[in-house]
Amino acid sequence: MPTPPAPIIRSVAALREQIAAWRRDGAKIGLIPTMGALHEGHLSLVRRALAAGERAVVSIFVNPTQFGPNEDFGAYPRRESEDVAKFAEAGGHLVWAPTVDEMYPAGFATHVAVTGLTDGLCGPFRPGHFQGVATVVAKLLLQVQADHAYFGQKDYQQLQVVIRMARDLDIPTGIIGVPTVREADGLALSSRNIYLSAEERRAAAQLPRVMRETAQAAFAGEAPFAHLLETARARLAAAGFGPIDYVSINDAETLAPVDGLTRPARLFVAARLGKTRLIDNIPIETTTA
């Protein structure tokens, strides 16, 4: 028998009612914020919530305020009915899919900005992006009042921004980071991978490969980080990537650039392949996540 679809809620009022009913039953709630076009990466977050015995609430909202004027808000894949089917199949309980007007009613005037963590990496390349993310995630956390909210390490800077924001604003939801799900050739799953042509998709496999080798070389102390990062950049450019926004080794918590391994660090890359901007990151000490 096909799995019955998970219910979709589109108003904050209806969401509150459902959450209150679950709370009365003593249920725990897990929130998985997404922009839809669900893939196995998203579903791994859903499974983490279910494994914790929580009612899994996925939010599907393509948040206009986190896209720059020349970014892909209009082109971003929207496929709600497929998403709802995949989510239900995975055992999820509720889809929270507000309209833009429900999320940002007329007169909306409040924004959340996390400083410091957003100074580097994607921050300078996507002005306003993290403020858009922090604001919408603060709203989602307050709307759903989940016990835990699950975020992918794929968007590691976003994860750190959300952890800081929830701490700073005393939002009591526990923020859980989940390892990146990858294709067989190592490419991190992303809703944007569908933009890649067949040729670009083949070239994209160089990204995780160069990253893995660079992280291994950094861990082995083969050369100064600056030298390893230059080599990685050159290899990505030779594979057809460009412009390359950054190739960088940063502290895993503060996200400040580092040139040695006194604390946990990660290798971060953002680069365009044709029209598609790909981002990825891996830890330096182990090269699998």
Which residues are marked as active site?
A: 42
Among 84, 97, 178, 258, binds ligand AMP (CB under 6 A): 178
Nearer to ligand AMP, 52 or 189 (CB): 189
Q: Of 9-17, 117-125, 183-191, 203-211, which segment contacts ligand AMP by CB under 6 A?
A: 183-191
CB closer to ligand AMP, 189 vs 261: 189
Cβ distance to ligand AMP smaller for residue 196 or 229:
196
Query: Which amino acid is it at 214?
Result: T
Q: Distance of CA 209 to CAs 185, 213, 217, 231, Å?
A: 8, 6, 12, 13
For position 35 contacting ligand AMP by CB under 6 A, the verdict is: yes
Please identify which residue in 47, 93, 139, 154 interacts with ligand AMP, judged by CB under 6 A.
154
CA 4 to chain CA centroid, nearest Å: 28
- By the rule CB under 6 A, 289 interacts with ligand AMP: no
Q: Which of 30, 41, 98, 283 binds ligand AMP (CB under 6 A)?
A: 41
181 binds ligand AMP (CB under 6 A): yes
The answer to whether 92 contacts ligand AMP (rule: CB under 6 A) is no
Shortest Å distance, C-beta 190 to ligand AMP: 5
Q: Does 190 bind ligand AMP (CB under 6 A)?
A: yes
Q: Which of 57, 252, 13, 259 is closest to 156 using CA atoms? A: 252
155 touches ligand AMP (CB under 6 A): yes
Do 63 and 35 meet the contact criterion of CB atoms below 8 Å apart?
yes
Question: Does 44 sit near ligand AMP (CB under 6 A)?
Answer: yes
Residues 6+ apart with CB under 8 A from 131: 65, 111, 112, 113, 114, 118
Shortest gap between Cβ of 140 and ligand AMP (angstroms)? Answer: 11
Write out 152-214 in H/E/C secondary structure: EHHHHHHHHHHHHHHHHCCCCCEEEEECCCECCCCCECCHHHHHCCHHHHHHHCHHHHHHHHH
Q: How far apart are CA 172 and CA 168, in angstroms?
A: 11
Q: What count of other Cβ atoms lies within 10 Å of the Cβ of residue 206?
A: 19
Cα end-to-end distance, the chain, whole Å? 36
| Cβ proximity to ligand AMP, 163 vs 229, nearer residue | 163
**CB-based contact 57:171 (threshold 8 Å):** no
Q: Among 18, 29, 30, 34, which residue sits at the site for ligand AMP (rule: CB under 6 A)?
A: 34
Residue 205 touches ligand AMP, criterion: CB under 6 A: no
Bridge partners of 276, per DSSP, are: 273
> Which residues lie near ligand AMP (CB under 6 A)?
34-35, 41-42, 44-45, 151-152, 154-155, 178, 180-181, 188-191
